[in-house]
Amino acid sequence: MIYVKIVFWKLKNVHIVDIKKLICFYFFCLKNKEMYENICEIEQKYGITFDEKFDKNFILSAFNSSELKEEDFDLNDLKIIIMFGKYYYFERDYENAKKYYLMAMEKGNNDIKVINDLGILYCREEDYENGKKYLLMAIENGHIDSNTYLLGTIYYCEKDYENAKKYYLMGIENNIIDAINGMGDLCYEQEDYENAKKYYLIAIQKDNNLSMNNLANIYFKEKDYENAKKYYLMTIENEDNDTINNLGIIYCEENDYENAEKYYLMAIEHGEIIAMKNLGHLYSDKKDYENAKKYWLMAIENGDIDANMINNLGILYCKEKYYENAKKYYLMASEKGNDCAMNNLGNLYYIVKDYKNAKKYYLMAIKKGNNNAMDNIKMLTNELELYICLKNMATKNELIENEIKRIENNNQI
């Protein structure tokens, strides 16, 4: 049984013994949000006994309070300022938590947990310089907790890999699982895939789901689809869009189109734009052109600017002789620098006998090194015209130089 010998110092007739303990308890009760009709209910629930000297009505009011009022507390007392900060931190009111923690620092705070929390708060605001400052201060004073890996992550994002490694390893020594995963990320970034796999596997043994996904990504990159699939399926319940989409890709590679379609559709339900494009490719390969168009158009509407996909959409419309739509998407892909779309646009203009524009887009594709366009333009020009045209180009790639030499050799120019 804890005998509370204290009460708020606002009550002038009550002697304060341990204000920190009372404030902690008071804040805890605020979190509870339970209303009490009498002091006995409070004493019974929390196993405490209040001294008879206490103003029972005031205590009951405090426990039933739904908000903190600064005017009820002495904000010149460092302990009170710290407890305000800790309360707001616990409540996830990070703005007020930072406010009181900074007030505490100004008054000479030496509570390492406060310093560490300040570092975390600054990291939440993406103020990484101040985040580093306070996290380093806490570590230098011997405070290492589950958030120590954040310091490693800050250095990792700054590409200061030496310091990232230093603090990740410090976290690993203290059995911080996120630091193990972070070390895996660092090895992955440096293309040390064997060590990345090693750290991810250690983290997985400690039930870190993120590491399962990261390990699967390595196997996916290495085209070890069996292991990639194994670890992706272990994390599928986390509903990570990349995971679901990558599963679709793996099944597609294995020619298991039913499961590929299943996972692409699942990823699309979660808003994964790449899956829309991938499903369009799957339907195109199956010659289901209506569905291919449907999902490619969906991807474009959602911001996918993949020029190859847009060009493929143009090809489908061209096959169906919807030339206006074909032209629209060929132009869109051409504007993004896709030489195949430029050549296809030249072909489209050739079909409709607009030879001037056909030649224009063939030449654009030739400048990009497209061999098909070089063959196609010969339907519109004789060798002398082509020679003059190519010679007049300001910049010449290997394709153009070789064609000029061929014409010169054939015609002894």
pLDDT in tens, 74-94: 778 888 888 788 878 877 889
Q: Is residue 294 part of a domain?
A: no
Highest-confidence range of 50-54, 66-70, 339-343, by mean pLDDT?
A: 339-343
d(CA 335, CA 326): 14
Q: Is residue 62 part of a domain?
A: yes
* Domain with 45 in it: 10-67
Q: Is residue 41 part of a domain?
A: yes
Q: Are 168 and 160 in contact (CB under 8 A)?
A: no
Q: What is the pLDDT of residue 372?
A: 98
Q: Is residue 49 part of a domain?
A: yes
Q: Is residue 194 part of a domain?
A: no
pLDDT in tens, 228-262: 999 999 988 877 889 999 999 999 999 999 999 99
pTM: 0.69
| Mean pLDDT, rounded, of the chain | 87
pLDDT in tens, 130-168: 999 999 999 988 888 877 788 999 999 999 999 999 999
Tell whether the model's pLDDT for residue 338 goes beyond 60. Answer: yes
Q: Is residue 29 part of a domain?
A: yes
d(CA 386, CA 367): 13
Q: What band does 7 get if pLDDT is binned at 50, 70 and 90?
A: very low
Q: Are 141 and 112 in contact (CB under 8 A)?
A: yes
Q: Is residue 18 part of a domain?
A: yes
Q: For a pLDDT cut of 70, what percent of the chain falls above it?
A: 85
Query: Between 30 and 205, whose confidence is greater?
Result: 205
For the chain, what is the domain count?
A: 1
Q: Residue 119: which of 142, 102, 96 has the closest Cα?
A: 102
Q: What band does 280 get if pLDDT is binned at 50, 70 and 90?
A: very high
Q: For a pLDDT cut of 90, what percent of the chain falls above it?
A: 68
Q: Is residue 60 part of a domain?
A: yes
d(CA 348, CA 330): 9
Q: Are 295 and 279 in contact (CB under 8 A)?
A: yes
Q: What band does 1 get if pLDDT is binned at 50, 70 and 90?
A: very low
Q: Residue 350: which of 339, 362, 336 has the closest Cα?
A: 362
